[in-house]
Every structure is written in C-alpha cells, then in structure tokens.
C-alpha cells in the first residue's frame, strides 16, 4: 500500500472512533467500549487483521440483528471450579470482562478453574482476552472455534474453524509471555489482508475449491485452509472443537455455519478459558524465578524469539507513534462514528 | 527387518516377561507390573517405539541406581482442585495409577481438576496414561517434557524435550478418542527405530550437529530434532515445558539433562494431567450425543482418519494374533527375566 493511501492514527483515536461507531449501530456503551478496546489492543500490538479491520464485521452483525449490542452477560457457578458466563447473544468482549473478574479469584481459591463462555460472538484476538489474567499472575489457556475454514489432515473440505488457542505465562514485574495461534497454517484474517492487498501466500496454507494446493488468497478463502503441521495441527484443531463447542454445549464450527446469517460478522459460539495459579501447584516460592531462568536461557539462543516479543516491540512503538491504517478503512470508521 | 529376525509374541507374554525382568533388576512387584503394563499397552496398539523396545532403558536406570524400583508414590492435596503425586524417584506408571485414582473423583466433584506428578521417571506413551480416565467418561489432557532434543523455531541447538501432549475425549459405550503427539515433528522413539532399522527420515524432521537439515536418523539423534509446524509447534513445546516443569517445580528439559546420569533411561521430571467432567460444563444431558454427531461427520469425510483409529485397529488385530518383535529384543528380554 502506498503511504498516500494510509493514515497515522493513535490508539486512543481508534478506540474513540470504534466506540462511537458501535454505539451508532446499536451497542450500549459497555458493549461498545469493550469491543472497541479489543480492536484497539490488536492495532496497538501491530496485528492489523484483528484490529479496526474488524469493525465492518461487528457493525454488520448489529445491523442484521444477529448480535444484540445491548446484551448483559450473566455468570453462574456450574461446579466448584467451573463458571459459565452466558453472553445472551452479545459480542464476546463484555462477557470476557465478566469471565476474567470471576475466574481470577476462583483460580486463586481452587488452584485451577475454568470459565465457559456461551452464546457469545467472538471476532477478536485471544491474547488480548487472556492478557489481564496473566498480568495478574495466573497462567491461562483459551480456546475458541469459528466457522468451517480448515480441512482436517487428509481431507479437502473446510470442516474445522480456524480454531485459535492461546497460552499465557506470567513473568516478573507483571510482564507476560503469551502465544495465540490459529490451528490453521495461517490466520484467516491474514489471508483476508493478503487478498485485500494482492499478496501471494506461502505454499501449504490452503487449497482451492477443487482441493488443489494454491498460493492465491482469494482461492483459499473460497476453498479450504490447511492446518499447521499436518495431522498434528489437525489434532489440535479437533481438540479446540471438542473443548470450546462439545464440552460447553455450543455449536461446532459446522453447526455455527449452518445457523449463521452470513452477515460478515462472527457466528454464535463458545469459548473456554482455563486459569492456573502457579503458587498452588507445588512450587509456590520458586516458580517465578525458575521459569525466568528458563525463559532467559531460551531467549539467549541464537535465532530464537520468545512468543509475543514482536507484539511487545510493536506496542512500545505504536504507543509513541500511533499506527498506520489504510485511509479507506479509517474514513469508513469515522463516517460510521457519525 | 526379515521375518526370520522377528518373533510373534502375545501381549500377555510381553507383560509377563517384562514384569519378571523388572523384578530381576530390582523393582517391587507393584512397580514392575505397572511399568510392564504401559510397555505392553504400546505394543498392543502397534506402537513399537514405546513398547518392549523401552525395556533396556528401564533396566539401565534400575541398575545405575538412578531410579528407585521400590518407590511408593504419595498423594497430597495442594488446593481444592489440585493434587500432587510424588513419585519419590520411581518410574511414572505407579504414580500415574495413584494419580488417576485420586483425579477421577476430584474432577467429578470440582468439574475440572489437575494432578501434578513430580519426581517421576517417565518413559512411556501418554495415551495409555490417560486412557482409563477417558474410558471413565472424563475428558483429559496430559503434558510432559524430557531431555533436550528439539531446537526451538529459528534455533539450531536442542533445547526443548520432545514434549508430548495428549488429549482424550470420551465416546459412547466407554470408547475414546485420544491423540498423543510429540511437539517434535517426529517422536524420538520413531527416529531411534529408524536408526536401528537403517531407514531414512522424511525432510523437516531434524538437523545435524552443525544445524544442517538431514534425513539421516543417526545424524538427527546427534544434532537436533525440529518442532512440528514451525513456530506454532515450537510454541506448543514451550507451553509443555512451562506446564510440566515450571508450574510443577520440576526440572526443565535443559535442567533434566544436566542432572541425568545418561544411563539411557528416563530423567527425573514432572507430568501435568487435567481432567474435565463434561457433565459439569453446561450441557450435562447433551454433550455425548452432540459430540458423537460431530465426530461421525468428521469421520465420514473422504480421506480423514480420527486420531487413535489406527491404534484401535492394531489393538483388535494384536489381541488376536500377538505382535511381531525383533527376535534380538525378545531374546534379551527373556534373558533379563532370568
């Protein structure tokens, strides 16, 4: 993209404009600001595919009536170490705020606890969902499915969602190490960006509608993505379906697609969040120094980068300078904000 | 291998001979039969690399005094949903028996629970470790590290263990779906078998001692294995280190290697097992039928095989016919049994 087709925007401005656009489209202020914050968090970390780029999808789902922009999540205890947060058909971010608030003290009390988010529409980056738990000193995992996009190993039809999972581990001084990765070889958002910008894909990312390997992002979006790492990534994608859908009583990716109205926004689904209190697993005094020692050794290896390193660098720079967005995307957002 | 160099052996005979050999080398009968059963379970499922093939390593660790063949595991509650099973320097299988016995009722009571196995020497297949939990109707995950074998993505030195993780989901009529996969592109046991049998490796499995890609299994065993799926598999390997070592206060792979006596048997380490009661996550009446519907649709896709399908087929055949073992391996086991 030429510089003339982009604009430099601060994260504060992205948050304000996205919030206003969501309110214009029917969100109450709690939902609007929770959703705007997850988009802004992605742009802040240099992840355009989950940033303001998603606003159009959020707005479409409000306009079509698929998502209730005024939904109030409700929390209930399903067992001593399990809570369920029902989003009642709203976007995921506000339910995730409630889930974190209930899950953090429960994990400290129980040692290990789970939050089952149900009836939410999730369209954002998982690392931002778990980061506050990890900053609070908990280890966390998160799983969610989507709509069929990935062919299981050996197959050629989309069946699994992109099915991201995230894992976070607390570091000294409130820092974190978090990875967040789709079970697909490449995140669908990245393929959408490649299609928009006319870039070719690396091999192994997907097949076209006839099951033939291709590097054309538009063809992959019409065909099927492939899992990362062959049958092993395919097994991870299956695990995500069973944990985020089967376990929680939520639609599997194939079912989500059948009930979805195809408005371009996220389908209804579930999310599973696990939180571990490292102080309750047998090494209450030593775990932090021990893992810091290990991560320092890992980070010192030639050629090796810790997960989240690039995001942390982007964040420091973008907090100072703002981020470059396509001018068209920004103009549309400003227009939607009214 | 030529047929003349192999023998057909029943699983019962493998169990009896392995038990006797372990007792001869200093195990008490509880430890011997628990260890023999996990080797026999692997051979029964057609997984030679984790079957009787491992006996030599177990015996070496008894003879060197690294592992206490008479260790009695002890269990304690670390939190409402966390138990710790201390193996006191014994092999993992007996501690795993105790862990499953305590974990299954705890998961039913809490919804979700964890067992932290510490000070165990693990040398077997994870799917056999969690299968009884899954047959009892629980979903389960299991993580363990090992000694440095895998170079992190971007690096060229062994740093992560092969770091397997397993996931199991209960099916109708006590059946299971379980995957068990190393974070390495190929299990180290498979590479050892390839080296023994003079087979070449597929590309992408490892690098030699200079960091150069190679398909020679002996060179990879001296160099470094690679993670499956590039940086995503590398992130999974990192997660396994943090969960099985950092969380539990157990040696990371790099530390395990530093303390190990290199007798050819397994190092001291930790294992994390999670158990979920699917009836306590919001869909108590529907989860089984719902997931059966999903797995049936998945299994019906052209070219797609469910994880564990091949093991189940092997098991049915081997229960009838026995399995073929290298004659030399069998003769050594019989000799060790005295």
Query: How confident is the model over A118-159, as pLDDT tens digits?
Result: 999 999 999 999 999 999 999 999 999 999 999 999 888 999
Say if the Cβ atoms of B281 and A82 lie within 8 Å.
yes
Q: Is residue B50 included in any domain, yes or no? A: yes
Residues of A in contact with B185 (CB under 8 A): 229
Structure-model confidence comparison of residues A173 and B199, the more confident one: B199
Among A109, A114, A297, the residue with its CB nearest the CB of B112 is: A114
Interface probe, candidates B74, B76, B80, chain A, greatest A C-beta count within 10 A:
B80
Cβ contact B238–A298 (<8 Å): yes
Determine the Cα–Cα distance for residues A58 and A67; give it in Å rounded to an integer: 9
Tokens standing for B170? Answer: 């209960």
Token pair belonging to B25: 């080398």
Q: What is the pLDDT of residues B229-275, one digit of tens each?
A: 989 999 999 999 999 999 999 999 999 999 999 999 999 999 999 99
pLDDT in tens, B23-54: 999 999 999 999 999 999 999 999 988 999 99
Evaluate whether residue A252 is within a structural domain: yes
Residue partners of A72: CB distance under 8 A and separation at least 6: A88, A90
pLDDT of residue B2: 67
* CA–CA distance, A81 with A102 (Å, rounded to integer): 11
Q: Which of B78, B80, B81, B288 has the most A C-beta neighbours within 10 Å, making it the best mutation to test the interface with A? A: B81
**Residue A188 pLDDT level (bands cut at 50, 70, 90):** confident
ipTM of the complex, rounded to two decimals = 0.96
The answer to whether position A197 is within a domain reads no
Q: Which two tokens stand for residue A126?
A: 């998982």
Give the pair of three-digit tokens for residue B128.
């056999």
pLDDT, tens digit, 9 for 90 and up, residues A274-315: 999 999 999 999 999 999 999 999 999 988 999 988 898 999
Instruction: Assess if residue A153 is contained within a domain.
Output: yes
Q: Which helix (H) or strand (E) holds A315?
A: helix A309-321
Q: Tell me if B219 is assigned to some domain.
A: no
Query: Which positions in chain A touch B241 (Cβ < 8 Å)?
Result: 294
**Predicted local confidence at residue A19, as pLDDT:** 98
pLDDT in tens, B115-136: 999 999 999 999 999 999 999 9
Asked whether the beta carbons of residue A249 and residue B290 sit closer than 8 angstroms, the reply is yes
pLDDT for the residue A225: 95
User: What is the edge-to-edge ordering of all strands in the sheet holding B224-225?
Assistant: B213-214, B206-207, B224-225
User: Closest to A84 (Cβ–Cβ): which among B242, B248, B282?
Assistant: B282
Give the pLDDT confidence score for residue A1 in this predicted structure: 59
Tokens representing B265 are: 């048997």
Mean pLDDT (chain B) is 95
State yes or no: pLDDT of A3 exceeds 90.
no
Judge whether residue A205 has pLDDT over 70: yes
Output the domain CATH number for residue A178.
3.30.1370.60
Q: A235-248: buried (b, 16+ CB within 10 Å) or exposed (e) per residue?
A: bbbbbbbbbbbbbb
Determine how many CB atoms are found less than 10 A away from the CB of residue A55. Answer: 24
DSSP bridge pairs for B83:
B77, B115
Q: Does B242 reside within a domain?
A: yes
In a domain, A205, yes or no: no
Pairing of strands A82-91, A112-121: parallel
Q: Is the pLDDT of residue A193 over 90?
A: no
Count structural domains, chain A. Answer: 1
> Is residue B3 very low, low, confident or very high in pLDDT (cuts 50, 70, 90)?
low
Could you read off the pLDDT of A65-93 as tens digits, one per residue?
999 999 999 999 999 999 999 999 999 99
**Nearest residue of A to residue B254, measured between CA atoms:** A294
Q: Distance (Å, rounded) from C-alpha B208 to C-alpha B215?
A: 9
Task: Tell me the whole-structure pTM to 2 decimals.
Answer: 0.96
**In which band, very low, low, confident or very high, does the pLDDT at B309 lie, cut at 50, 70 and 90?**
confident
**pLDDT score of B210 more than 90:** no
The answer to whether the CB of B31 falls within 8 A of the CB of B97 is no
CA atoms within 13 Å, Cβ hemisphere of A116: 28
Residue B194 has pLDDT above 70, yes or no: yes
Highest-scoring range by mean pLDDT, A55-64, A147-156, A213-222:
A55-64
Confidence of residue A4 (pLDDT cuts 50, 70, 90): confident
- In this predicted structure, the answer to whether residue B173 has a pLDDT above a threshold of 90 is no
Cβ burial of A63 (10 Å; 0-12, 13-18, 19+) is middle
Is residue B169 included in any domain, yes or no?
Answer: yes
Containing structural domain, residue A161: 3-184+227-294+307-337
Reply yes or no on whether the pLDDT at B6 is more than 90. Answer: yes
B86 vs B173, residue with greater confidence = B86
Q: How far apart are CA A117 and CA A130, in angstroms?
A: 13
Write the pLDDT tens digit of every residue in A19-29.
999 999 999 99
Q: Which residues of B are catalytic?
A: 49-50, 190
Residues A252, B114, B126, B138, CA torsion sign: negative
């Amino acid at each position: 993209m030429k510089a003339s087709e982009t604009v430099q925007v601060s994260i504060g401005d992205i948050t304000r404009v996205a919030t206003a656009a969501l309110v214009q489209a029917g969100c109450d202020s709690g939902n609007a600001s929770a959703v705007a914050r997850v988009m802004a968090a992605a742009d802040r970390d240099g992840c355009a595919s989950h940033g303001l780029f998603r606003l159009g999808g959020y707005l479409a789902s409000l306009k079509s009536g698929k998502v209730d922009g005024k939904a109030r999540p409700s929390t209930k205890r399903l067992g001593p170490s399990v809570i369920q947060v029902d989003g009642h058909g709203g976007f995921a971010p506000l339910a995730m705020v409630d889930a974190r608030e209930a899950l953090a003290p429960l994990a400290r009390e129980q040692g290990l606890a789970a939050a089952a988010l149900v009836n939410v529409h999730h369209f954002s980056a998982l690392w931002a969902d778990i980061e506050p738990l990890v900053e609070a000193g908990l280890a966390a995992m998160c799983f969610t499915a989507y709509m069929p996009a990935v062919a299981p190993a050996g197959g050629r039809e989309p069946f699994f969602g992109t099915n991201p999972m995230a894992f976070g581990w607390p570091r000294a001084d409130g820092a974190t190490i978090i990875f967040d990765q789709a079970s697909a070889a490449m995140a669908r958002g990245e393929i959408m960006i490649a299609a928009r910008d006319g870039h070719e894909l690396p091999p192994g990312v997907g097949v076209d509608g006839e099951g033939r390997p291709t590097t054309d992002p538009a063809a992959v979006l019409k065909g099927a993505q492939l899992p990362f790492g062959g049958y092993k990534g395919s097994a991870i994608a299956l695990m995500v379906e069973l944990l985020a859908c089967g376990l929680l009583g939520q639609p599997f990716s194939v079912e989500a697609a059948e009930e979805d109205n195809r408005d371009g926004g996220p389908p209804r689904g579930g999310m599973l969040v696990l939180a571990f209190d490292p102080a309750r697993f047998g090494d209450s005094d030593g775990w932090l120094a021990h893992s810091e020692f290990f991560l320092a050794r890992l980070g010192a290896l030639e050629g090796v980068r810790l997960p989240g390193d690039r995001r942390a660098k982007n964040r420091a720079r973008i907090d100072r300078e703002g981020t470059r967005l396509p001018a068209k995307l920004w103009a549309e957002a400003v227009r939607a904000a009214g």
